[in-house]
């Protein structure tokens, strides 16, 4: 995920520190520094930059938001509101800026997280942290024991072999699968390789948080959910995967 760059005056306004005009005045007076240097008017920064006013670090007063959302089919998990009319941001229309953690492709539905906490985003997205994601899948023909065995033990897609995963038949043409990696359109590609077509794909759990709200609805994480989630990602690397 690319860093979001904004003008320093806009950033200070967004976090509730002062107005844009007041921020420009602080720069003109030499009272505001970015990473130890007085920036030019209009300088762009990211949230990782250190901003000080009169030598004191400026902290964001922005409340951290953690949402569980039941994404409908047809909604795209992108923050690009200019070119994608069915984007997740406009659909939810949340009053403050948030972004999705990971992705759930357009034909799929179910649980996705949204937040304004970049730190937890980076931790969750690391595939090697083995964070479980559970899906219910309906396919176009009977689910056989041979199919379950092959899905469980690795399928060659995208120039790699998928990691071993838990797969369980739950109906004549449906199964449950728990993944710990997140390759692009992974379940659909795995099924396609084995001669099956996915008719319906729904994510019902990410780590400790289960889908428990109607399609198109969202809710805040409970305190217990957030505490458990933070423990699960406590030792995760902050570096992003692809």
Confirm whether 10 is domain-assigned. Answer: yes
On whether both 139 and 196 belong to a single domain, the answer is yes
236 pLDDT exceeds 80?
no
* pLDDT at residue 47, rounded to an integer: 74
50/15 same-domain check: yes
Catalytic residue among 24, 80, 90, 105: 105
Q: What is the pLDDT, as a whole number, of residue 16?
A: 61
Can you list the positions of beta strands (E) in 8-147? 32-34, 44-45, 51-53, 56-57, 66-71, 99-101, 109-115, 133-139
Strand pairing class (32-34; 51-53):
antiparallel
Residue 235, C-beta contacts closer than 8 angstroms, at least 6 positions apart: none
Task: State the pLDDT at residue 61.
Answer: 59
143/199 same-domain check: yes
pLDDT category at 187 given cuts 50, 70, 90 is: very high
**In this structure, is residue 188 part of a structural domain?**
yes
pLDDT tens string 126-185:
645 678 999 999 999 999 999 999 999 999 999 999 999 999 999 999 999 999 988 899
Average confidence (pLDDT) over 80-93: 90
CB 96, CB 135: distance < 8 Å: no
pLDDT for the residue 122 = 73
For the segment 9-27, the average pLDDT, to the nearest whole number, is: 80
Which residue range forms the structural domain that includes residue 222? 66-123+211-232
pLDDT classification of 242: cutoffs 50, 70, 90? very low
CATH of the domain at 18: 3.10.290.10
Asked, for residue 242, whether it belongs to a domain, the answer is no
Q: Is 105 a catalytic residue?
A: yes
Per-residue pLDDT for 223 more than 90?
Answer: yes
Together in a domain, 51 and 161: no
Q: Is residue 70 part of a domain?
A: yes
Distance in angstroms (rounded) separating the CA atoms of residues 163 and 97: 35
**177 vs 166: CA distance, rounded Å:** 6
Examine the domain organization and report whether 202 and 222 are in the same domain: no
Q: Does some domain include residue 86?
A: yes
55-82 per-position pLDDT tens digit: 988 876 567 899 999 999 999 998 888 8
In a domain, 1, yes or no: no
pLDDT of residue 197 exceeding 90: yes
For residue 241, is it within any domain? no
Same domain, 37 and 76: no
pLDDT of residue 129: 60
Q: What is the distance between the alpha carbons of residues 144 and 189, in angstroms, rounded to a whole number? A: 18
Predicted local confidence at residue 241, as pLDDT? 34
Same domain, 153 and 201: yes
pTM above 0.85, yes or no: no
Task: Examine the domain organization and report whether 145 and 197 are in the same domain.
Answer: yes
Structural domain includes residue 240: no
Structure-block tokens of residue 233:
């990602």
**Beta carbons of 200 and 139 less than 8 angstroms apart:** no
What does the pLDDT read at residue 237?
54
Tally Cβ neighbours within 10 Å of residue 16.
9
Q: What percent of the chain has pLDDT over 90?
A: 60
Determine what percent of the chain is predicted with pLDDT higher than 70: 91
User: At 88, which CATH number?
Assistant: 3.30.70.580
Q: How many domains does the chain have?
A: 3
- What value does the mean pLDDT of the chain take? 88
Same domain? 98 vs 161: no
């Amino acid at each position: 995920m690319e860093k979001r760059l904004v003008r320093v005056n806009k950033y200070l306004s967004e976090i509730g520190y002062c107005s844009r005009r007041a921020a420009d005045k602080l720069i003109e007076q030499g009272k505001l520094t970015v990473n130890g240097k007085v920036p030019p008017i209009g300088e762009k920064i990211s949230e990782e930059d250190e901003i000080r006013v009169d030598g004191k670090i400026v902290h964001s007063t922005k409340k951290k938001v953690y949402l569980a959302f039941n994404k409908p089919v047809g909604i795209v998990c992108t923050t690009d509101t200019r070119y994608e009319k069915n984007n997740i941001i406009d659909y939810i229309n949340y009053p403050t800026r948030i972004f999705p953690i990971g992705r759930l492709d357009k034909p799929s539905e179910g649980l996705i997280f949204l937040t304004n906490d970049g730190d937890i985003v980076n931790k969750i997205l690391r595939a090697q942290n083995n964070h479980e994601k559970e899906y219910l899948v309906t396919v176009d023909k009977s689910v056989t024991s041979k199919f379950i065995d092959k899905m469980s033990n690795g399928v060659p897609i995208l120039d790699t072999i998928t990691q071993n995963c838990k797969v369980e038949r739950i109906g004549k043409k449906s199964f449950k699968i728990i993944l710990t990696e997140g390759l692009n359109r992974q379940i659909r590609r795995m099924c396609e390789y084995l001669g099956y077509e996915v008719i319906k794909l729904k994510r019902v759990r990410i780590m400790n948080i289960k889908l428990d709200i109607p399609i198109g609805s969202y809710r805040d994480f409970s305190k217990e959910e957030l505490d458990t989630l933070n423990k699960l990602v406590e030792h995760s690397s902050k570096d992003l995967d692809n």
